[in-house]
Amino acid sequence: MSATHTPADTAEQQGDSLLDKAKAYAAALLEGAVMETGEPALQHAAGASSILEAIGADVQTRAAAYLSQAATQLAKPEEQILKVFGRDLALLAMENRKLVDVFRVARNVRGQDSGHESAHHQELMRRLLLAFSQDLRVVLLRLASRLQSLRYYLAEAGQPSPEFTEESLQVYAPLANRLGLWQIKWEIEDLAFRFAQPKAYGQIARWLEEHAAQREALISEATAKIQQTLVAQGIEARISGRSKHAYSIWRKMQGKGLRLDQVMDLLALRIIVPSVDACYAALSAVHAIWTPLDAEYDDYIAKPKPNGYQSLHTVVRGPEDVPIEIQIRTQAMHDHAEQGVAAHWAYKEAGAQGYKGVAATSDYDAKIALARQLLALRREIVEQGTHARPGTAGETSPFDDRIYVLTPQARIVELDSGSTPVDFAYAVHTDLGHRCRGAHVNGALVPLNTPLRSGQTVEIVAAKQGGPSRDWLNPELGFLHSPRARAKVRAWFNAQALEQTLANGRVLVEKILQREGRTGMSLQELAAGLGFRSPEQLFERVGSDALPLRQIELHLRGAGGGAAQQASPELSLKSAKTHQQAGVLVVGVDALLTQLAKCCRPAPPDAISGFVTRGRGVSVHRADCPNARNLARQHPERVIPVTWGARGDAIYPVDLIVEASDRQGLLRDISEVFSKEKVNVIGVQTQSRGDAAHMLFTVEFAGLEKLPHALQMLREVKGVRSAARR
The three-class DSSP label of residue 465 is coil
- Is the Cα torsion angle 240, 241, 243, 248 positive or negative in sign? positive
* Alpha-carbon span 524 to 97, nearest angstrom: 66
Read out DSSP for 305-325? -TT----EEEEEE-GGG-EEE
Residue 649: DSSP 8-state: T
User: Going by C-beta distance under 8 Å and a sequence separation of 6 or more, which residues neighbour residue 7?
Assistant: none
Pick the CATH number of 1-196 from 3.40.50.170, 1.10.1040.10, 3.30.465.10, 1.10.3210.10: 1.10.3210.10
Spelled out in words, what is the top-level CATH class assigned to the domain 197-343? alpha beta
* Alpha-carbon span 543 to 553, nearest angstrom: 16
* Alpha-carbon span 202 to 249, nearest angstrom: 12
372 phi-psi bin (left φ>0, alpha ψ -120 to 50, beta other): alpha
* Alpha-carbon span 425 to 719, nearest angstrom: 33
Q: Domain locations in the chain? A: 1-196, 197-343, 402-470+477-481, 519-644, 652-725
* Alpha-carbon span 625 to 597, nearest angstrom: 10
Specify whether the CB–CB gap between 188 and 147 falls below 8 A.
yes
* Alpha-carbon span 400 to 421, nearest angstrom: 18
* Alpha-carbon span 623 to 611, nearest angstrom: 11
Which residue(s) pair with 684 in the sheet? 697
Read out DSSP for 229-242? HHHHTT---EEEEE
Specify whether the CB–CB gap between 418 and 481 falls below 8 A.
yes
* Alpha-carbon span 113 to 116, nearest angstrom: 8
Residue 672, Cβ neighbours under 10 Å: how many? 13
Task: Collect the ranges in the chain with pLDDT lower than 50.
Answer: 1-8, 11, 110-111, 114-115, 133, 341-400, 560-582
Amino acid at 512: I
Degrees, nearest 5: CA angle 690-695-699: 170
Neighbour-count burial for 471-488, b at 16+ CB within 10 Å, e otherwise? ebbebeebbbbbeebbeb
Amino acid at 160: P
Rounded to whole angstroms, the maximal C-alpha distance in the chain is 136
Neighbour-count burial for 46-80, b at 16+ CB within 10 Å, e otherwise? bbbbebbbebbbbbbbbbbbbbbbbbeeeeebbeb
**If you count them, how many residues does the chain have?**
726
Q: State which fold the 652-725 domain adopts.
A: Alpha-Beta Plaits (3.30.70)
User: Going by C-beta distance under 8 Å and a sequence separation of 6 or more, which residues neighbour residue 282?
Assistant: 230, 235, 237, 271, 273, 328
Specify whether the CB–CB gap between 287 and 316 falls below 8 A.
yes
3-state secondary structure labels for all residues of 91-160: HHHHHHHHHHHHHHHHCCCHHHCCHHHHHHHHHHHHHHHHHCCCCCHHHHHHHHHHHHHHHHHHHCCCCC
User: Helix H segments across 516-663?
Assistant: 523-529, 535-543, 549-566, 569-581, 626-634
494 phi-psi bin (left φ>0, alpha ψ -120 to 50, beta other): alpha
* Alpha-carbon span 319 to 220, nearest angstrom: 10
Specify whether the CB–CB gap between 422 and 447 falls below 8 A.
no
* Alpha-carbon span 201 to 249, nearest angstrom: 10
Q: State which fold the 402-470+477-481 domain adopts.
A: Ubiquitin-like (UB roll) (3.10.20)
Specify whether the CB–CB gap between 315 and 324 falls below 8 A.
yes
Specify whether the CB–CB gap between 128 and 454 falls below 8 A.
yes
Specify whether the CB–CB gap between 640 and 618 falls below 8 A.
yes
Specify whether the CB–CB gap between 657 and 664 falls below 8 A.
no
What confidence score (pLDDT) does residue 411 get? Answer: 72
Backbone angles phi, psi at 550, to 5 degrees: -60, -30
**Counting Cβ atoms within 10 Å, is residue 463 exposed (0-12), middle (13-18) or buried (19+)?**
exposed
* Alpha-carbon span 159 to 163, nearest angstrom: 11
Long-range contacts of 511-514 (CB under 8 A, 24+ apart): 512/549, 512/552, 512/553, 512/556, 513/556
Read out DSSP for 368-435? HHHHHHHHHHHHHHHHTT--PPTTSTT---TTTTEEEEE-TT--EEEEETT--HHHHHHHH-HHHHHT
Specify whether the CB–CB gap between 308 and 355 falls below 8 A.
yes
723-to-694, 700, 711, 714, 715 alpha-carbon distances in Å:
10, 16, 6, 6, 6
Q: What is the pTM of this model?
A: 0.51
User: Going by C-beta distance under 8 Å and a sequence separation of 6 or more, which residues neighbour residue 283?
Assistant: 312, 314, 328
**Counting Cβ atoms within 10 Å, is residue 681 exposed (0-12), middle (13-18) or buried (19+)?**
middle
User: Going by C-beta distance under 8 Å and a sequence separation of 6 or more, which residues neighbour residue 471?
Assistant: 477, 479
What confidence score (pLDDT) does residue 47 get? Answer: 95
Q: Where are the beta strands (DSSP E) in 185-338?
A: 238-243, 267-273, 291-292, 298-299, 312-317, 323-330
Read out DSSP for 497-555? HHHHHHHHHHHHHHHHHHHTT-TTS-HHHHHHHTT-SSHHHHHHHHHTT-S-HHHHHHH
* Alpha-carbon span 497 to 158, nearest angstrom: 63
User: Going by C-beta distance under 8 Å and a sequence separation of 6 or more, which residues neighbour residue 108?
Assistant: 163, 410
What confidence score (pLDDT) does residue 587 get? Answer: 56
